[in-house]
Amino acid sequence: MTLSCLGDRAALDSLSEALGHMVERNPKRAPLLKSIVSSEAIWLAPLQVAICSTLLGMSETSDDTRAGWFNTLATMLSALGRREEALEVAKKAVARYRTLAGAPLDVFTPDLARSLGALGMVYKGMEKDLDAADQFEEGARRLAPLFPRLPQAHATLMHGLAREYLAMAEKLSRPIDEA
């Protein structure tokens, strides 16, 4: 389904903002809305910002859940053009996942790689290409040992990280490290 099927962009933005204000007025609605709103729904960025900010402010959940909310919040802030805020939030997500990725069995390594990709996208949006390339490269390096074991599970993430890294490396005339 495309956005044109849902109505015009201004109406969608108004709906998202109204739902965001509803969450701000009644924070107890945040978990319900978070459960039904896709993290990839960029057109709902104002609502996602309100939901994640509210959940981060009120919830005593696990570090991995909080890191995920930080990740979503950073992506949505960046989509709204609030890049400096997005950068700080993305750094928090990466810091949490770095701690979690040190756990046995590499359970959180894909999440760390995803957070590094999100941080790279924020840097890319800020036109900090060198920082962006470094994040994409680290994300791909972290994910590389897991990729052969479960290629289908990690293919989309690895493809995105590699694509962004290669684009940044080319833009920066940076030699590509294939190790």
The pLDDT of residue 12 is 65
Please give the Cα distance from 89 to 75 (Å, whole number).
Answer: 9
51-95: pLDDT as tens digits: 888 888 876 788 888 999 999 999 999 989 999 999 999 999 999
- For the record, the structure tokens of 141 come out as 């390096």
Asked if residues 89 and 73 have their Cβ atoms less than 8 Å apart, the reply is yes
Over range 147-165, report the average pLDDT.
Answer: 94
Q: Is pLDDT at 4 greater than 60 in this prediction?
A: no
Please give the Cα distance from 22 to 127 (Å, whole number).
Answer: 34
The pLDDT of residue 136 is 97
Q: Is pLDDT at 41 greater than 90 in this prediction?
A: no
89-134: pLDDT as tens digits: 999 999 999 999 887 667 899 999 999 999 999 999 999 999 999 9
Angle subtended by helix axes 109-125 and 151-171, to nearest 10: 30
The pLDDT of residue 5 is 37
Q: Is pLDDT at 36 greater than 70 in this prediction?
A: no
pTM: 0.78
The percentage of the chain sitting over the pLDDT mark of 90, rounded to a whole number, equals 51
DSSP H or E run through 178: none
Q: In 10 A of CB 22, how many CB atoms?
A: 14
Q: How confident is the model at residue 44 (pLDDT cuts 50, 70, 90)?
A: confident
Q: Is pLDDT at 7 greater than 60 in this prediction?
A: no
Q: Find the range with the poorest average confidence among 41-50, 83-92, 141-150, 154-163.
A: 41-50
